[in-house]
Amino acid sequence: MRAVETKNGKHIIKFYDSIRQLPMRRYQKFNKYMMISSEVGESVEDYDRRTQRAIQYLNANDTKNASIELENRRQNVHHAMSEYSPKGYALAIMVYSIDGEVFDSFDDEILNSVIDKLDKIGFDIEQVNEVVSEVKKK
């Protein structure tokens, strides 16, 4: 397990060190959310990236790929408007415990409560991106 302190140092979050340490169902769900995040996205930056790619495809007369990019962009807006974060869910799956409270279930209700707890204790988006990036590499 990898322990991370919040920036204010008052809370300890333990993460699985690697996706390879995850139980099988947890691993499958992590991959699902990461695929959604990488394919569709959830942020303004993702929206801009999708728009740029669609424009490039249109300039190359590649309407098939432009159409795919525009559909992904539409889904991205839906995620943002629904306050749905696939990367946030992927991170929540990697959480073993927060301040000693172990999360051994990972249904959507539990994942939402983990995200809420992380938000409440000040775990910011920079830390989300850092942790998700690190565990993907291992």
CA dist list (Å): 74 to 2, 37, 91: 36, 13, 24
pLDDT of residue 8: 66
Task: Specify the pTM.
Answer: 0.82
| Pair of tokens at residue 119 | 């938000």
| Confidence check: pLDDT of 116 > 90 | yes
**pLDDT (tens digit per residue) in 34-70:** 999 888 988 889 999 999 999 999 999 999 999 999 9
| Pair of tokens at residue 84 | 């749905």
Range with the largest mean pLDDT of 15-24, 63-72, 80-89: 63-72
